A and B are shown apart, each in its own frame.
Chain A
Amino acid sequence: MIKYFIYHKWKESIRSTVFQKNLVINIILGLFILYFMASFALLGFFIDAILSENFPGRNVIYVFNGFLLYYFGVELILRLQLQELPVLSVQPYMHLPISRKNVVHYLLSQNLTSLFNYFPLLVFIPFAIKVLLPESGALSVVLWLGSVISFSLFLNYLCTFIKRKTAEGFWIVPAVILLFAAIAFLDYQGIIELSAVSEAIFNASLSNPLILAIIIGLLALTYYLNFMLVYSNTYLDEISKKQKSNIAVGNYSFFERFGQIGQLISLEIKLIFRNKRSKSVVLTSSLFILYGLVFYTNDIYLEGNYMLIFAGVFITGMFMMNYGQFIPSWESSYFDGILTSDIDSEQYFLSKYYLFVPTSLAAYILSLPYAFISWRLVVINFVLMLFNIGINAFVILFFSTFNNRRIDLSKKAMLNWEGVGASQFIMVIPALLLPIALFFPFEHFISPVAGYTFLASISIICLIFHKFWIRLIAKRFEQQKYKIAAGFRKE
């Protein structure tokens, strides 16, 4: 039986549509993974050197062990945020003559395929072989590796248990982060000493099998808790209705006064706030307002212009870029309905544009406190807000007509490559290079002020003629719509 489960799992992953259709994405993703693997392995090989340099005179193994609990804390937060619950994949097995227990074991074992379980090994194993083996011997290596690996798996099942129990509540990650921040604060103040605890536990694991036994006990306990929870809930209705839609029927009648465009904007706002993935776009985009801190705290950047232009484009345009790159894929599930409705393409794109403008303005207003760092930022960000709503918005909407990949709105947001095609990569280039290209000649031959003035003026001119650009985009959309709709109909 297990053989079939593994076989099906393998087929599922190699036959998944994302894997098959999207070669470019797979190559990029593969390169990312390789890069991370290489970095981790390098870290594993050289961590003893790094540690002995930073903590001279101390035993490298003890220092390493002292860091382990901090690392596991970060791992738990990452897991909570990024790891997926394998939920629906058991449905086809429920009615077959397979014992319910085996199905649950299968479901729980699927967690083990998560990359999270393997990345730390790239650090732990080299460290164990290079440092532990010569110093403490093979038995210690086995005990210690057993302990850290079991601890990581314990976190794996702890994370899935928390997620199942809270039905993936939105608040759980911030809550855990807050808890850990509190612990870190107490640790920093010297009230508790986490590193000492960590050192004590994992130093002991080198020689004492009891530690390994306790950790395996914890692992078994979390596995059992997961098992009981899933086992008592493996009825189809409970599996598929796990994520109940929270009904948030707000009052959007404000927009509906503005005719068809208002209708479309109000629809779009509902789309954004009623679906996981789009909601997280809003969240990450608003976090990007803090992006300025990366540049503005560095005096070299602060005195120059180009980095500030980059930062300004991102700060005031993150939402339109982040959300706009997937227009109209967001609406792929009802795109046929849009096409057969009496919605004019120009009005359709105008409604998107009218959604971009206030978000860009709002981001600018929220960025005003940067004035405390430098008054120039207020002016520069204003110019780039104008650029975003005067030029960049049309670049994004133009590239949106190349999108024909379906997005399933109900799917998770993190590390979701659905809907990503070549256009997402290409559109970043003009969006970022255009302000530089417009700014550079004036700055170089006259003065930075002239550069900003030119950038602002040309943005304002384009802004005034926004209907012209929208008309061009709508025209292109009219030619492309069959291709887009055909792409969206494919699962």
Chain B
Amino acid sequence: MIQIENISKKFGGNTAVNIPHLEIQKNESFGLVGNNGAGKTTLFRMLLDLIRPSSGKVMIAGSNVKGNSNWKKFTGSYLDEGFLIGFLTPDEYFNFIGGLHNINKAEVNERLQGFEDFFNGEITGNKKYIRDLSKGNQKKVGIAAAMLSRPELLVLDEPFANLDPSTQIRLKNILRKYKSNNENTLLVSSHDLNHVTEVCERIVVLEKGETIKDIKTGETTLKELEEYFAA
């Protein structure tokens, strides 16, 4: 699904990301972990063609993300509040995103039914602009909007941060359900080792922009990760 080749990004003289080769298969659930400043967000931004790599390229479904927007049709993503349109209500925002994918209002509402628990009654039907929502609720809007078009590829940066415990558990169920469709590929980054090992089958550790570990999740993964980060 995704091929990363010789990608690097330098800010000034500092190398933020440098990955010679990384391949993510279709139907994989891929977790990216690393401390602050390890380059997770930079990597995701290059993946989504938001910043220009200093070298190398990212291919999604066989074509370079740069200079081509075909991948946007089947990729859903939410990195941060920079994706949300603050002066819209959540309903308007969902309809806007839906409209871009030619999904009509009735269909949008039907798809949002699946998020009812996750929203906990605080998102839809409320006459409040997104900019007036709490961080957690903004995140809910962003994640649901990313999944609205039922994308084959879903990219989420820190999806568990800022969410309350119940919502975190509901989100895990939503992501598992998403993954149960064999066509779907999931990419998440997280600081929470527990969640990421539960959701992902494969975990890559990023340190100073380089991939340090590439683990297939098993019984001992959590322990291994904890040991690595404790060191």
Contact = CB atoms under 8 A, between A and B. Distances in A.
Which DSSP category, helix, strand, loop or mixed, fits chain A's interface?
A: helix
B129 A247 contact: yes
A270 B89 CA distance: 11
A340 B75 contact: yes
A487 to B, nearest CB: 12
A274 B129 CA distance: 10
A423 to B, nearest CB: 21
Contacts of A344: 69
Contacts of B83: 334, 336-337, 340
B96 A482 contact: no
Nearest to B86: A333
Contact of A337 (B51, B85, B89): B85
A206 to B, nearest CB: 54
B77 interface: yes
Interface string A323-345: 00000000001111101111110
B88 interface: yes
A485 B51 contact: yes
Interface string A258-290: 001001000100110011000000000000000
Interface stretch (B20-28, B97-105, B160-168, B170-178): B97-105
Contacts of A409: 86-87
Contacts of B169: none
Contact of B82 (A263, A270, A336, A343): A336
A234 to B, nearest CB: 21
A336 B82 CA distance: 6
A486 interface: yes
B92 A271 contact: no
Interface in B132-146: 132
B100 A485 contact: no
Contacts of B45: 336
Contact of B84 (A247, A256, A337, A342): A337
Contacts of A343: 100
Interface in B35-60: 45, 48-52
A488 B86 CA distance: 15
B48 A340 contact: yes
How many chain A residues sit at the interface, stated as a range, is: 20 to 34
Given A274-B129, A339-B50, A486-B51, A249 B89 contact: yes
Nearest to B89: A249
B129 A478 contact: no
Interface in B79-121: 79-89, 92, 96-97, 99-101
Contacts of A334: 82-86
B87 A274 contact: yes
A411 interface: no
B128 interface: yes
A342 B101 contact: yes
Given A247-B127, A247-B129, A341-B100, A478 B51 contact: no
Interface of A: 245, 247, 249, 256, 260, 263, 267, 270-271, 274-275, 333-337, 339-344, 409-410, 478, 482, 485-486, 488-489
Interface of B: 45, 48-52, 67, 69, 72-73, 75, 77, 79-89, 92, 96-97, 99-101, 127-129, 131-132
